[in-house]
Amino acid sequence: TQSTWGARDPIIFMSSFSCVHVSAPATVANVGPGFDVFGFAVDEPSDTIIAMKTTEHPGEVLLRSKDALVPAVASKNTAGIAAQYVLTACGVSDFGIEMELIKGMGVGTGLGSSAASAAAAAKAVQALLQSDRYEVPEHLLVSACIAAEEAIDGAVHGDNAIPSLLGGFIVVPSSREPLLYSRLDLPSDLRVVLVTPPISVLTADARRVVPQTIPLSHAVHNIGHAALIVAGVAKGDPILMGRGVSDVVIEPARASLIPNFSQVKEAALAAGAYGCSISGSGPTVFALASTDSNLEAIGASMSKAFQTSEPPVVRYAKPNNEGARVVHCE
Active-site residues, by number, are 149, 203
To the nearest 5 percent, what fractions of the chain are helix, strand and coil? 35, 25, 40
Cα dist. 263→19, 173, 247, 267 in Å? Answer: 48, 31, 16, 6
> What sign results for the dihedral spanned by CA atoms 196, 74, 116, 158?
negative
- List Cα–Cα distances, 140 to 6, 145, 189, 217, 267, in angstroms: 10, 9, 32, 38, 42
**Chain centre to alpha carbon of residue 271:** 27
The number of residues in the chain equals: 330
Burial of 261 (0-12, 13-18, 19+ CB in 10 A): buried
Q: CA separation (Å) from 128 to 57, 86, 193, 255?
A: 16, 11, 35, 43
CA 171 – CA 328 distance, rounded (Å): 30
User: Residue 263 carries which side chain, given as an amino acid letter?
Assistant: Q
